[in-house]
């Protein structure tokens, strides 16, 4: 979902400003949009894409008992990222971890469930690495058996509250699944996810229930707490990530 200004007209068509209508109810707005503006035909274009098996995607998926782990009977299908982006559909948001051959994205669930309610879809690149794979699979497990928040829907809330989007996109429950998958498949996390895992282990990530309540004061407080912790532990964090993929230079004394 694109970022919507609080004083802009609400995309639902009510005629009200966004702040007086669906602000804080972005998940509901996404569901309504999926049922109205996004047609079954376009949904079927996504779910009809050929399944792919890149990197360790098949091995990891076969190694996960999703039903046992989350209680959900939903399955997961992998499709080619470039082919998916080529559909040029409204929800083809920028892939997380995008880069040369390593991108991946959990496709908007409210779009795919119109034509295939039994599966979640991950679009991945042929050269996807293990770290990106478990990053996306952690989103799947978090949605099915964790915070139940879908990636992308927190961005308008982040804008309104004034906290970094990644603080809401990667809640405590996501950190649990990321750490679980990292150990389960013996994966070396990239620099960013190493920080997420470190924050989870130190109980610094915001819990899904707090994000779902959308209490602005509470979310700002928890975000500021996280930032203070990262500043205090900057040298330790830098030592953890300095040899990891995606390292962009020392973060010591940086907020």
Least confident of 33-37, 82-86, 163-167, 213-217: 33-37
Q: Which carries the bigger pLDDT value, residue 119 or residue 99?
A: 119
- Residue 21 has a pLDDT of 73
Share of the chain above pLDDT 70, in %: 80
Taking alpha carbons only, the member of 48, 178, 60, 67 closest to residue 114 is: 48
Assess contact for 71 and 48: CB atoms under 8 A.
no
Q: How far is the C-alpha of 10 from the C-alpha of 134, rounded, in Å?
A: 35
Pairing mode, if any, of strands 119-124 and 75-80?
A: parallel
Rounded to the nearest 5°, which phi and psi values hold at 117? Answer: -75, -5
Q: Is the pLDDT assigned to residue 32 strictly greater than 90?
A: no
The token pair that represents 191 in the structure block: 């620099």
> In which band, very low, low, confident or very high, does the pLDDT at 99 lie, cut at 50, 70 and 90?
very low
Q: How far is the C-alpha of 252 from the C-alpha of 218, rounded, in Å?
A: 27
Tens digit of each residue's pLDDT (9 = 90 or more) over 158-173: 888 889 999 999 999 9
Look up residue 186 and give its DSSP letter: T
Alpha-carbon torsion, ordered 84, 54, 98, 198, to 10 deg: 130
Q: How far is the C-alpha of 75 from the C-alpha of 115, rounded, in Å?
A: 14
CA-to-CA dists, residue 231 to 157, 175, 251, angstroms: 24, 20, 9
Q: How far is the C-alpha of 81 from the C-alpha of 89, rounded, in Å?
A: 13
Tens digit of each residue's pLDDT (9 = 90 or more) over 40-91: 999 999 999 999 999 999 999 999 999 999 999 999 999 999 999 999 875 5
Q: Give one word for 216, left, alpha or beta, with left for phi > 0 and alpha for psi -120 to 50.
A: alpha
Share of the chain above pLDDT 90, in %: 64
């Amino acid at each position: 979902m694109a970022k919507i200004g609080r004083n802009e007209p609400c995309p639902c068509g009510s005629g009200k400003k966004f702040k007086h209508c669906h602000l804080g109810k972005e998940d509901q707005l996404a569901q309504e949009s999926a049922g109205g503006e996004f047609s079954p035909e376009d949904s079927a274009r996504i779910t009809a894409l050929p399944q792919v098996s890149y990197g360790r995607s098949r091995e990891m998926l076969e190694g996960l008992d999703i039903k046992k782990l989350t209680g959900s009977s939903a399955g997961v299908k992998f499709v080619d990222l470039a082919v998916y982006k080529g559909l040029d559909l409204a929800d083809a948001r920028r892939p997380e971890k995008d880069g040369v051959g390593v991108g991946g994205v959990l496709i908007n669930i409210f779009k795919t469930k119109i034509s295939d309610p039994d599966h979640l879809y991950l679009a991945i690149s042929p050269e996807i690495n293990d770290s990106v794979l478990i990053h996306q699979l952690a989103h799947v497990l978090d949605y099915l058996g964790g915070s139940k928040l879908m990636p992308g829907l927190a961005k308008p809330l982040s804008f309104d509250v004034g906290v970094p989007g990644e603080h809401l996109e990667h809640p405590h429950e996501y950190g649990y699944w990321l750490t679980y998958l990292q150990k389960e498949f013996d994966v070396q996390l990239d620099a960013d996810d190493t920080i997420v895992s470190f924050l989870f282990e130190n109980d610094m990530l915001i819990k899904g229930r707090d994000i779902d309540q959308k209490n602005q004061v509470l979310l700002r407080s928890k975000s500021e707490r996280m930032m203070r912790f990262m500043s205090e532990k900057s040298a330790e964090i830098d030592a953890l990530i300095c040899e990891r993929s995606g390292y962009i230079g020392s973060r010591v004394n940086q907020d």
